[in-house]
Amino acid sequence: MNKKILIFAVASLLTAIGCKQDFLEDMKSYDKYDDSIFENELQTGWYIDRLYNYFFVSYRNPQQSVVGLYNDNRAKMTEEIGGTVSNYINPNMTLQNASQADGYYGNSVTASVQNNPYTRIRFANFLIERIDQSGAGLSETFRRSAKGQMYFFRALQYFDLVRVYGGVPLVTTVQENSATDESIRAPRATSSACFEQIVKDLDSAAVLLPMVWDGASANYGRLTAAGALAMKSRVLLTAASPLFNKDWDNPGNERWQKALAAGLDAERKVSAGGYGLFGSSAKDWAEMTFRNDNKFNPEALMVFLLSTQSTSSSGYNNSWENSVRPNAYNGGGGIAAPKEMLDLFPMADGSRPNATNYVDTFFFANREPRFYRTFAFPAAKWGVKGKDNKSTWFYRWKENETTTKVTYFGNNQTNSPGLVRKMSNPAADSTAFAFSGTDIFEYRYAELLLNIAECYAATGDIGNAVTYLGKVRARVGIPSANNYGIGTPASRYAALEACLYERRVELAYEGKRFWDIQRWMLYDNVAESGNSVQKLGLKPINGTKRTGYYWQSKTYGKEDPLTGADRNILIDPDAENFQTEIERLKQVYKEHFVMTPLDQEWDRVNNAPVTILFRPNYYLSGLSATVLGNNSWLEQTKGWFGYSGGAGTFDYQQ
């Protein structure tokens, strides 16, 4: 299907409306656009669409995060993906100098527009300030929705600035582009003040925006009141978590109460607006991102539309399909799942894997329904357009015991027998994986339920926490016995840990794991977290690694150790013969394969094995040398050195 995407459609509209070219060119300088943009709804609409482009043009993959930046660097600092050892988890690196800090904040002042955070904030401020006066001829409904989108934009941008740096200067009016005007030298606001402003903007957006847009064919994908209400829940949950809340361990803490109230308010209102969990089975869960492609989906509280067009002038594509497909599918090679992820998911009854109910050799046996829709493994059904029952295998063999020469079946040279398949469309065209149009669900209704569960746990209401976790599990068909396998947590700490565990499973590979690690400060048991790792009964991530392994033939030779008859297995979790085929795969493994360590450790630096080390000052970055050099009045963050080498003084937990 050829989709004309809405939120990224600026470039594609140029050919349809010739005068728009001049308008967009004018926006390349701060002083080249003025109140004339509010002369009519069409031109104001161009301005709004340009902001969608500025915010989301790089959002091509569900693992990506950080507004305007949208890369998967943070996802690669978690257990979900192995092999990439960024500077932030490299034990051989120590980042403390301003020159080593994150550059997301922006660059020095220039006359031309640069798509950085404060540019995006400035454009939102301009419309909020001017549209009611200068756009008096526009309909009230249009003006309300325009302002609502800008408030939402501004909230999104400040939220990610806070998640990267802690408190930042709050600018809610249009300021002239000047490096010398002292009146606009705003100091860093506290993190608390930033959260208050973000919530205020989301409240405004929720009042001004529709719950569901009219004219779905043209407006689906725009920001909504439902998204604003849900985002408020995410923001307040973050503010209540240990990273920003020194009093997180107090069940009566006001921040947890506010986060709980926001979550319940959002649940009530968005449910009344037609939102909810998509479907009532694991099959529905697997298909939610593509079954209603480009149409309203009740699960999608924030959705971003992508295009199947092969040229950037017609739209932008989702890179995920190509990334997850292995070589045998004509894909980009696949995303191998670390053993830590394969071993994580619950068993079929919802209980956690342990020494008595789980054998990692047969990681594919007796797992809960989401496992089979999150991962592909040998013989698992994973279709493509025209080949519904296509599958492939992930194993290798050696000619002899001493040789380093190995052959991979189907040229599937992967570091794991399990690959990520979540959010993959089984009807995708294998000749055009790179041009996938599958929409990205940035915020799902299930996340809102998990937010509520966590807030209940934090406030000591274990019963309601388990109830909300059960809603998420019931939808995919996990049996209800023993609270859907969750049991009854013995303490609020155990309930909180159960919530974080469920997020790892339900939201796996959706770009959420790093932010949970960050806000709970799970890399190590540092004092600033109030010893959150220890209290939740978790092991620090520091000192761990992402582990891979091969299915390797027990025998040697030049020929494939399996015959076509051996591979005549098709494991379909929706088929009646599912368990029979699982047993057949187990037998093939027993006869032919052995678990073999990788030829080299997956996580390496300069070809030497390493384990993860994320230092305490990395949870929030300092301001870069560029920012501090041009804004000398700004404080540097504690744990980082300033422009001239002095220790930072800004406390992000205030």
Task: Encode pLDDT of 23-72 as tens digits.
Answer: 555 566 665 679 999 999 999 999 999 999 999 999 999 999 999 999 99
Q: What is the 3-state secondary structure (H, E, C) of 573-612?
A: CCCCCHHHHHHHHHHHHHHHEEEEECCCCCCEECCEECCC
Q: Quote the pLDDT of residue 625.
A: 96
Q: Quote the pLDDT of residue 113.
A: 77
Which DSSP state fits 622? P
- Mean pLDDT, residues 107-124 taken together: 84
- Residue 626's contacts (CB-CB under 8 Å, 6 or more residues apart) are 103, 107, 108
Contact 128, 147 (CB under 8 A): yes
7: confidence class by pLDDT, cuts 50, 70, 90: very low
What is the share, in percent, of the chain residues with pLDDT greater than 70?
A: 94
Neighbouring CB atoms inside 10 A of 284's CB total 17
The SS3 call for residue 471 is helix
**Can you list the domains of the chain with their CATH numbers?**
10-273 (1.25.40), 320-436+549-597 (no CATH)
- Mean pLDDT, residues 375-395 taken together: 98
Cα gap 537→497, rounded to integer Å = 8
Q: Residue 336: phi, psi to the nearest 5?
A: -70, 135
What is the share, in percent, of the chain residues with pLDDT greater than 90?
A: 88
Which carries the bigger pLDDT value, residue 458 or residue 29? 458
Neighbouring CB atoms inside 10 A of 474's CB total 14
Q: Quote the pLDDT of residue 27.
A: 60
- Residue 534's contacts (CB-CB under 8 Å, 6 or more residues apart) are 525
- How do beta strands 440-444 and 549-553 pair? unpaired
Cα gap 76→63, rounded to integer Å = 9
310: confidence class by pLDDT, cuts 50, 70, 90: confident
Q: Where do we find the tokens 């009611």? A: 132
Cα gap 211→298, rounded to integer Å = 11
Burial grade of 262 (CB within 10 A; 0-12, 13-18, 19 or more): buried
Report the candidate in 575, 577, 570, 548 with the shortest Cα–Cα distance to residue 393: 570
Q: Quote the pLDDT of residue 22.
A: 57
Q: Residue 50: phi, psi to the nearest 5?
A: -65, -40
Contact 452, 258 (CB under 8 A): no
* CA within 13 Å, CB half, 405: 6
Res. 13: pLDDT tops 50:
no
Res. 280: pLDDT tops 80:
yes
Which DSSP state fits 522? -
Report the candidate in 25, 114, 115, 113 with the shortest Cα–Cα distance to residue 70: 115
Helix axes 462-475 and 445-458, enclosed angle (nearest 10): 160
Mean pLDDT of the chain: 93
The SS3 call for residue 349 is coil
Question: Poorest-confidence range of 340-354, 383-397, 523-537?
Answer: 523-537
- Residue 499's contacts (CB-CB under 8 Å, 6 or more residues apart) are 450, 453, 454, 457, 465, 469
Cα gap 607→299, rounded to integer Å = 43
User: 163-180 as b/e, with b when 16 or more CB fall inside 10 Å?
Assistant: bbbbbbbbbbebbebeee
Q: What is the pTM of this model?
A: 0.95
Going from the C-alpha of 480 to that of each of 350, 369, 456, 471, the distances in angstroms are 9, 14, 20, 10
Neighbouring CB atoms inside 10 A of 5's CB total 24
Neighbouring CB atoms inside 10 A of 213's CB total 18
- In order, the DSSP letters of 257-311 are HHHHHHHHHHHHHHHHTT-----SSHHHHHHHHHHTTTS--TTEEEEE-----SS
Cα gap 518→77, rounded to integer Å = 11
- What is the sign, positive or negative, of the torsion defined by CA atoms of 622, 625, 628, 632? positive
pLDDT in tens, 226-251: 999 999 999 999 999 999 999 999 99
pLDDT in tens, 145-173: 999 999 999 999 999 999 999 999 999 99
Cα gap 208→222, rounded to integer Å = 13
- In order, the DSSP letters of 108-138 are ---SB---SHHHHHHHHHHHHHHHHHHTTTS
- Mean pLDDT, residues 596-611 taken together: 97
Cα gap 538→516, rounded to integer Å = 13
Cα gap 346→470, rounded to integer Å = 13
Q: Quote the pLDDT of residue 10.
A: 35
- Calculate the dihedral angle through the C-alpha atoms of 234, 304, 476, 423, rounding to the nearest 10 degrees: -120
Our measurement of the distance from residue 128's CA atom to the centroid of its chain's CA atoms, rounded to an integer in Å, reads 29
The structure tokens listed for 381 are 């059904």
Instruction: Please state the length of the chain.
Output: 654
Going from the C-alpha of 628 to that of each of 99, 187, 210, 616, 646, the distances in angstroms are 10, 12, 41, 22, 12
Contact 540, 89 (CB under 8 A): no
Burial grade of 481 (CB within 10 A; 0-12, 13-18, 19 or more): exposed
Cα gap 162→243, rounded to integer Å = 11
